[in-house]
C-alpha cells in the first residue's frame, strides 16, 4: 500500500508531531476542555497544537500572518482523517506502524541534538580557538598589488618589456596588448595573496620591488606574463568580533560530529545488509535430455570443467538466452 501525505492548507512538523503521539507506546496526556482549541467528535485538539502550527506557518511565511480560523480548520481536517484512519483500522497496519516508528525516531534524534546543543553551547572560548586556528594560516603573510600583461608567445612578452624599457606606460600596454580579462582595467589584479596565484606568477611577484616590473617573461600555463608590482603589505586578519558569527555554525557542527563519534565508539554496531548492490540474479533453466558431458566455464574462477546437467541462463536485463555461465556438478 503506497501512502502519501495529503496536503491541505499546510503540511509540516505539526502533522509529524501528531503522528508521533500515535506511535508512542505511552499514551499521550489527556487534554482538558479548557486547554483545547477545538473538539472533533468529542476529541479535543490542544491549544498547544494550534500554537505549534502557528509558529511553523509564521516561520515558513516569513512572519506573514495566517488567519486563526484557517489554522484551526487545518487541525480539524487532520483530526477527522486520523479518526477515519482509526475507524478503518489503518493504525494497525504494519506499514503505518513502521512509518510512525520512523517518524518517532526522526523526532527523537532531533530532540537529542537539540538537547546536546542546549547542554553544550558554543562558548567564546570555542570561537576564539577556532579563530586562532583559521587566522593562523594567513597571519603574517604578504599581499601584493600588481598589474600584468598576458600574451601567447614569449617573443611578444620580450617586445613588451622592450617598450617598457623605453618608457611606455604599463597600463596602456596592458589595455592594447594583453589577452587576459584584466586588460580592460589596464592589467590591474588588485590585492592578492601568494596562494591565490599560480606558483611561477607568485614567485615572480615576491622577488620584485614595489614599482618594478619583470625584466624577463614569466611563463605559466596561461601563457607569458610581464608583471608590474605596484605595492605590498602584510595581511591584516579580520577582527574576532567581525567573524565570530560566521565561525559559530562551523564550531557547532564540529562539536556535534565529535559527540556522534563518541556515541558510535561506545556502541556495539553490526551492519547486517550488503553495502554494495549485488549483481542481478539470473533465471536458470535445465537443458532437458542432456546425457553427454559438456564443458562450461566456472564464473567463480574462470576454469573450464565438464558437467552432465548443464544450465543455460536467461539474462534478466533483456530476456536473451546466454551461454552457460553456471556450473552444475556432474551426476554420479
Span 118-155, pLDDT tens digits: 999 999 999 999 998 887 655 557 899 999 999 999 99
Please give the grid coordinates belonging to residue 12: 509540516
pTM (2 d.p.): 0.51
Give a yes or no: residue 129 inside a domain: no
Span 188-222, pLDDT tens digits: 999 998 888 999 999 999 999 999 999 999 999 99
Q: Are residues 157 and 75 in the same domain?
A: no
Give a yes or no: residue 272 inside a domain: no
Give a yes or no: residue 248 inside a domain: no
* b/e 193-202 (16+ beta carbons within 10 angstroms → b): ebeebeeebb
Q: Report the pLDDT value the prediction gives residue 298, as an integer from 0 to 100.
A: 56
Number of domains in the chain: 3
Q: Are residues 98 and 162 in the same domain?
A: no
Span 26-84, pLDDT tens digits: 556 688 999 999 999 999 999 999 999 998 888 888 777 789 999 999 999 999 999 99
> What confidence tier does 95 reach under pLDDT thresholds 50, 70, 90?
very high
For the chain, percent of residues with pLDDT exceeding 90: 61
Q: Are residues 17 and 104 in the same domain?
A: yes
Q: Are residues 166 and 227 in the same domain?
A: yes
Q: Report the pLDDT value the prediction gives residue 209, as an integer from 0 to 100.
A: 96
Q: Report the pLDDT value the prediction gives residue 172, as an integer from 0 to 100.
A: 97
* b/e 219-240 (16+ beta carbons within 10 angstroms → b): eeeebbbbbbbbebeeeebeee
pLDDT at 14 over 90: no
**Rounded mean pLDDT, 147-176:** 97
pLDDT at 104 over 80: yes
Q: Report the pLDDT value the prediction gives residue 286, as an integer from 0 to 100.
A: 45
Task: Tell me the pLDDT of the chain averaged across its residues.
Answer: 82
Please provide the size of the chain in residues.
Answer: 332
Q: Are residues 30 and 113 in the same domain?
A: yes
**In this predicted model, which residue has the larger pLDDT, 97 or 134?**
97
> What confidence tier does 160 reach under pLDDT thresholds 50, 70, 90?
very high
Q: Report the pLDDT value the prediction gives residue 138, as an integer from 0 to 100.
A: 55
Give a yes or no: residue 198 inside a domain: yes
Give a yes or no: residue 53 inside a domain: yes
> What confidence tier does 255 reach under pLDDT thresholds 50, 70, 90?
very high
Q: Are residues 147 and 114 in the same domain?
A: no
Give a yes or no: residue 317 inside a domain: yes
Q: Are residues 65 and 18 in the same domain?
A: yes
Give a yes or no: residue 330 inside a domain: no
Q: Are residues 89 and 37 in the same domain?
A: yes
Q: Where are the beta strands (DSSP E) in the chain?
A: 36-40, 43-46, 142-151, 188-193, 212-213, 218-220, 223-234, 283-286, 294-297, 304-307, 311-314, 321-322
pLDDT at 105 over 90: yes
pLDDT at 331 over 50: no
Domain CATH for 219? 3.10.50.40
DSSP bridge partners of 321? 314
**In this predicted model, which residue has the larger pLDDT, 31 or 313?**
31
Q: Are residues 149 and 107 in the same domain?
A: no
For the chain, percent of residues with pLDDT exceeding 70: 73
Give a yes or no: residue 295 inside a domain: yes
pLDDT at 92 over 50: yes
Q: Are residues 29 and 94 in the same domain?
A: yes
Q: Are residues 227 and 299 in the same domain?
A: no
Note down the domain range covering 288: 283-322
Q: Are residues 111 and 158 in the same domain?
A: no
Question: End of a domain among 71, 86, 119?
Answer: 119
Amino acid at each position: 500500500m503506497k501512502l502519501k501525505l495529503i496536503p491541505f492548507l499546510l503540511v509540516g512538523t505539526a502533522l509529524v508531531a501528531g503522528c508521533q503521539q500515535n506511535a508512542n507506546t505511552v499514551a499521550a496526556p489527556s487534554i482538558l476542555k479548557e486547554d483545547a482549541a477545538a473538539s472533533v467528535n468529542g476529541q479535543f485538539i490542544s491549544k498547544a497544537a494550534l500554537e505549534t502550527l502557528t509558529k511553523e506557518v509564521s516561520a515558513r511565511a516569513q512572519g506573514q500572518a495566517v488567519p486563526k480560523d484557517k489554522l484551526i480548520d487545518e487541525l480539524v481536517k487532520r483530526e477527522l482523517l486520523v479518526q477515519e484512519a482509526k475507524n478503518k483500522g489503518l493504525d494497525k497496519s504494519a506499514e503505518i506502524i513502521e512509518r510512525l516508528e520512523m517518524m518517532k525516531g526522526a523526532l527523537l534524534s532531533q530532540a537529542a541534538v537539540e538537547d546536546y546543543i542546549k547542554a553544550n553551547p558554543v562558548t567564546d572560548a570555542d570561537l576564539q580557538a577556532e579563530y586562532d586556528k583559521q587566522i593562523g594560516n594567513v597571519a603574517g603573510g604578504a599581499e601584493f598589488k600588481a598589474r600584468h600583461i598576458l600574451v601567447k608567445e614569449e617573443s611578444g612578452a620580450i617586445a613588451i618589456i622592450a617598450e617598457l624599457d623605453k618608457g611606455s606606460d604599463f597600463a596602456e600596454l596592458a589595455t592594447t596588448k594583453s589577452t587576459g580579462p584584466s586588460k580592460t582595467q589596464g592589467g590591474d589584479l588588485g590585492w592578492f595573496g601568494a596562494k591565490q596565484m599560480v606558483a611561477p606568477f607568485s614567485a615572480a611577484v615576491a622577488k620584485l620591488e614595489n614599482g618594478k616590473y619583470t625584466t624577463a617573461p614569466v611563463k605559466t600555463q596561461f601563457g607569458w606574463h610581464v608583471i608590474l608590482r605596484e605595492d605590498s603589505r602584510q595581511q591584516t586578519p579580520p577582527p574576532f568580533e567581525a567573524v565570530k558569527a560566521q565561525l559559530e555554525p562551523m564550531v557547532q557542527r564540529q562539536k556535534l560530529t565529535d559527540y556522534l563519534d563518541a556515541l558510535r565508539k561506545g556502541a556495539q554496531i553490526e551492519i547486517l545488509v550488503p553495502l554494495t548492490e549485488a549483481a542481478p540474479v539470473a533465471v536458470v533453466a535445465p537443458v532437458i535430455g542432456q546425457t553427454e558431458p559438456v564443458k562450461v566455464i566456472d564464473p567463480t574462477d574462470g576454469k573450464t570443467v565438464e558437467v552432465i546437467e548443464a544450465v543455460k541462463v536467461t539474462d534478466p536485463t533483456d530476456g536473451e538466452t546466454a551461454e552457460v555461465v553456471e556450473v552444475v556438478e556432474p551426476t554420479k
